[in-house]
Amino acid sequence: MIENAIVETVILDMNNCFKGNDDCFSATRDVFAARLQSFILETEKYLEAAVIGEIGNNTFDHNFGFYSSYPRGVHCNLLYEHKFSVLADYGRGVRQSLSSVLP
């Protein structure tokens, strides 16, 4: 289980992208891909990178439910505290997206 303090810190990090201070935010797929390639070269964790790549690409491929006041893209910190990979976006989430189709 991930500690609440870690989740709260990631949320604060994501809020920094509103101020233009988030070095981990990838607004486009090519920026995300470059960060993923850097992660692979630095760590040689190919299987983990494949999973991260699939999740990150889904953000760009399938999440049409972004709120207009939030930035589109993915917060991607693959070496958070040297032991976690963090991927987060400002989409509505699976439950809310599906509830519009299946109330």
Specify whether the CB–CB gap between 66 and 35 falls below 8 A: no
Q: Pick the more confident residue, 8 or 64.
A: 8
Domain ranges of the chain: 4-99
Could you read off the pLDDT of 24-82 as tens digits, one per residue?
Answer: 888 889 999 999 999 999 999 999 999 999 999 888 887 666 667 777 788 888 888 78
